[in-house]
Amino acid sequence: MSKIEKVLMTGKTHTTVSAAGNTSRGHNGSLDITLSSPGSAKPAHVFAAIQPHPTAEQLFAGAWSACYTAAVGLVANDMNVVLPSDLSVDIEVDLGQTGPAYFLQARLTLRVPGLAHDIATTLAHTADQICPYSKATRGNIDVALNVLTA
């Protein structure tokens, strides 16, 4: 796996989880999506009319966050862990270059305020093992997984 020498641009999303549905927003206001998971009674992805248009990296980060937050919920249920109401996921996807070649890399940060760090870390890594987007990127791009409990 090649490391990026020069980051050309970064697509960032912040996804919150609530009873009303998951929402993913781009850092620059160009992405605002209501997310759902397969089999969910909530509406499918709803894109708000926001300009300028989101980048491919933001769309990928938003879709990945929908899948990852669903995986976190499944793992928490299996572990009998009650997730905090202010759980969120930040995903940053970089498009970069090494020599003439282009690559992606990503950073995922799971924020679970008030949860014990060891439990949160187990939750984050187990969710990463079952999330199809995480599986698709594993071994293909450099991915860092961070956990914050404060």
Q: For the chain, what percent of residues have pLDDT higher than 70?
A: 75
pLDDT in tens, 46-86: 444 444 567 888 889 988 998 999 999 999 999 999 999 99
Q: Distance between CA 100 and CA 88 in Å, rounded?
A: 36
Q: Identify which of 52, 65, 49, 56 has the alpha carbon closest to the alpha carbon of residue 13.
A: 65
Whether the model pTM is above 0.85: no
Q: Please write the tens of the pLDDT for every residue from 104-128.
A: 999 999 999 999 999 999 999 999 9
The partner residues of 24 in beta bridges, in order of sequence, read: 15, 33
Instruction: Show the tokens assigned to 146.
Output: 């961070």
106 has which bridge partners? 93, 143
Most distant CA pair in the chain, distance: 48
- As a three-state string, the secondary structure of the chain is CCCCCEEEEEEEEEEECCCCCEEEEECCCCCEEEECCCCCCCCCCEECCCCCCCCHHHHHHHHHHHHHHHHHHHHHHHCCCCCCCCCEEEEEEEEEEECCEEEEEEEEEEECCCCCHHHHHHHHHHHHHHCHHHHHHCCCCEEEEEEECC
